[in-house]
Chain A
Amino acid sequence: MELKNNHTIAELGLLLAVAVILGYVETVIPVSIGIPGVKLGLANCAVLFVMVRYGAKEAALVSILRTVIIAALFTNLSMLLYSLAGAICSIVVMTIVCKGPFSLYGVSIAGGVAHNIAQLFVAFAVLGASHAGVWWVTNYLPILLVCGLSAGCINALIAGNVLKKVPSRKVTV
């Protein structure tokens, strides 16, 4: 990782704070639709922003740090496993997809879907999949896929518009 200068470090710190706040907002105002684990994932907006502006490594750093910070400050630590698995899987997939012929929408959708699939696998591992395994895959996974798709679109829209409004820094030190 090459953090070129103090400006970059400061900006990434700022964006990490934005990601943490977005995650906090979501825990305060949960958009519950009766399905556990389904949320908008607003913090991913900040991660998308970092990915476009700075690069995949920086985005991975922000993503994983905000997951740990949000879990430690606002949510149950026992849920850290879920969010961490989701964040890591999401950032890996987004890094790969980023190099392909996709716009921000495609990258964000892939990240959202990957995040949800990863969390499903953690749920398999924690709860044991043997008894309700078929139910998980036929009833829960389709919902998770559609939610990952929609959330991905919304986050891409937000991040894309923020990217347009916030000019990239041209100052060199």
Chain B
Amino acid sequence: MSQNHLQIKRADVVLAVLVLLAAAALFLCGRLRGYGTSADYVIVRVDDAEYGRYPLSQATVVKIETPYGTNELTIQNGTAYVTDANCSGGDCMHMSPVTAQGGTIICLPHHVTITSASGNSGMDVLAQ
């Protein structure tokens, strides 16, 4: 590095542009795949093992009990979001809700992921 540490060099710009291009390319790939366009239920997983599936159409409150802590998932008006978590950060409570358009809620301390899903698998079991 030169003596003037804040003199922007060409290499800095190249690096920044490459990072932005990579981000844009990945983002476009996700959009092109049409990932999670019309979901009708959410899947809750703990440690990569399925914990439960809940339809977005049905208002409910689910207590997710994990070995690491507890999260409270609320489904209302077709959106699913975390309303309570007994971790220190509470990041998952501030994440965008999972809707029919997709989305994912992650609670890192409790190893919980809440993702949207569509299709037939599992829906038979849920029909009440």
Q: How far is the CB of B47 from chain A (nearest CB, A)?
A: 7
CA distance A146 to B16 in the complex (A): 9
Q: How far is the CB of B122 from chain A (nearest CB, A)?
A: 13
Given A109-B12, A131-B113, A146-B23, do A35 and B95 touch, yes or no (CB 8 Å)? yes
Chain A residue contacts of B15, Cβ below 8 A = 102, 106, 109-110
- Interface pair B6/A137, CB less than 8 Å apart: no
Majority SS at the chain A contact face:
helix
A113 contacts the other chain (CB 8 A) = yes
Given A76-B88, A132-B115, do A145 and B108 touch, yes or no (CB 8 Å)? no
CA distance A122 to B49 in the complex (A): 17
- Interface pair B6/A156, CB less than 8 Å apart: yes
- Interface pair B111/A104, CB less than 8 Å apart: no
- Interface pair A82/B108, CB less than 8 Å apart: yes
- Tell which of A34, A103, A127, A149 touches B5, judged by Cβ atoms closer than 8 Å: A103
Chain A residue contacts of B6, Cβ below 8 A = 103-105, 156-157, 160-161, 164
- Interface pair B8/A127, CB less than 8 Å apart: no
Report A48-79 residues with CB < 8 Å from chain B CB: 52, 75-76, 78-79
Chain A residue contacts of B7, Cβ below 8 A = 103
CA distance A107 to B16 in the complex (A): 11
Chain A residue contacts of B91, Cβ below 8 A = 32, 35-37
- Interface pair A103/B8, CB less than 8 Å apart: yes
- Interface pair A132/B113, CB less than 8 Å apart: yes
Partner-A contacts on B (CB < 8 A): 1-2, 4-12, 15-16, 19-20, 22-24, 26-27, 29-31, 33, 35-36, 43, 45, 47-48, 68, 87-89, 91-92, 94-96, 104, 106-109, 111, 113, 115
